A = this chain, B = another copy of it.
Amino acid sequence: MTISWKNGILYVKIITESSVAHMKSDIPFPTIERLCTIYHLLEELYENGIRSLSSKEIGAYIGAGAHTVRKDINYLGEIGKGRAGYDVALLKNHLMNHLGLTGHKKACIVGLGRLGAAILEYARLALSGFDMVAGFDRNINKLETIKTAITLYPAHEITTIVRRNGIELAVLAVPAQAAQEAAHRLIDGGIKGIVNFSPALLQTEAGVVIRNIDLINEFRIVTVLSGLSIDTQ
């Protein structure tokens, strides 16, 4: 709760859970991306024993101005009054709570080729609150070959397993031609978000968040951007 006195009027601002949740819809998309990066940064710095951090320092780490960082953080409401920058632990929890990053979320992976298998072994996921609970592949032989603690299923069971286990997130690491069908199965199972490593341009459905990651597209963007910086020198 914040109390302030301005122009002869007493302002009492009460931030409740629901008003915070509603406010979130007012957060600009770039701000959400930056806040997630800041959250990541705070985790890292806290592990390294850093307990206080200014907006200027945060900006330097994530490649943004101090203004932007303060504005971003303030979309989630007031946190640290005054002096010596932000308390790292406090801000980290603040972001966690307001961004809804508390607790563990269940995730699965579709496509157990080289890339899929690599992601399956990514230990940091569980440490960050994302539990890989299922893997899928069209090729049944692959399910026997791969050694993992996670249960593996044939691709046609995606919908059932996702729904039954309440899996919220999925990684798509199948070849392009299999991507759309797999995405449909995930969506039918009630998945909330898909991180798509295939080069397929998925037809999205309302309510499902899709993030596309395509190395070739990234290379092209880098090429165009670096072409720019050279030409404009």
A binding-site residues for B, Cβ under 8 Å: 18, 21-22, 24-25, 32-33, 35-37, 39-41, 44, 61-63, 99-101, 105, 107, 113-115, 117-119, 121-122, 124-125, 128, 130, 168-169, 171, 192-195, 199, 201, 204, 207-209, 211, 213-232
Contact B101 A169 (CB under 8 A): no
In whole angstroms, how far apart are the Cα atoms of A217 and B128 in the complex? Answer: 10
Contact B130 A216 (CB under 8 A): yes
Q: For residue A222, which residues in chain B have a CB less than 8 angstroms away from its CB? A: 169, 192-195, 209, 211
Contact A225 B199 (CB under 8 A): no
**Chain B min CB distance to A95 (Å):** 10
Query: A209 contacts which of B25, B101, B130, B225 (Cβ < 8 Å)?
Result: B225
Q: For residue A118, which residues in chain B have a CB less than 8 angstroms away from its CB? A: 113-115, 118
Q: Chain copies in the assembly?
A: 2
Q: For residue A39, which residues in chain B have a CB less than 8 angstroms away from its CB? A: 220
Q: Given A119-B215, A219-B107, A24–B227 Cβ distance below 8 Å? A: yes
**Chain B min CB distance to A36 (Å):** 4
Contact A209 B226 (CB under 8 A): yes
Q: For residue A208, which residues in chain B have a CB less than 8 angstroms away from its CB? A: 226
In whole angstroms, how far apart are the Cα atoms of A15 and B56 in the complex? Answer: 42
**Chain B min CB distance to A215 (Å):** 6
Q: Name which residue of chain B comes closest to A192, CB basis.
A: B226
Q: For residue A225, which residues in chain B have a CB less than 8 angstroms away from its CB? A: 32, 193, 209
Q: For residue A124, which residues in chain B have a CB less than 8 angstroms away from its CB? A: 199, 216
What are 21 A-to-B residue pairs whose CB atoms are below 8 Å? A21-B231, A40-B220, A105-B223, A115-B119, A124-B199, A125-B215, A128-B220, A130-B216, A169-B219, A171-B215, A192-B230, A193-B219, A193-B222, A195-B219, A195-B222, A209-B222, A209-B226, A209-B229, A211-B218, A211-B221, A211-B222
In whole angstroms, how far apart are the Cα atoms of A212 and B124 in the complex? Answer: 17
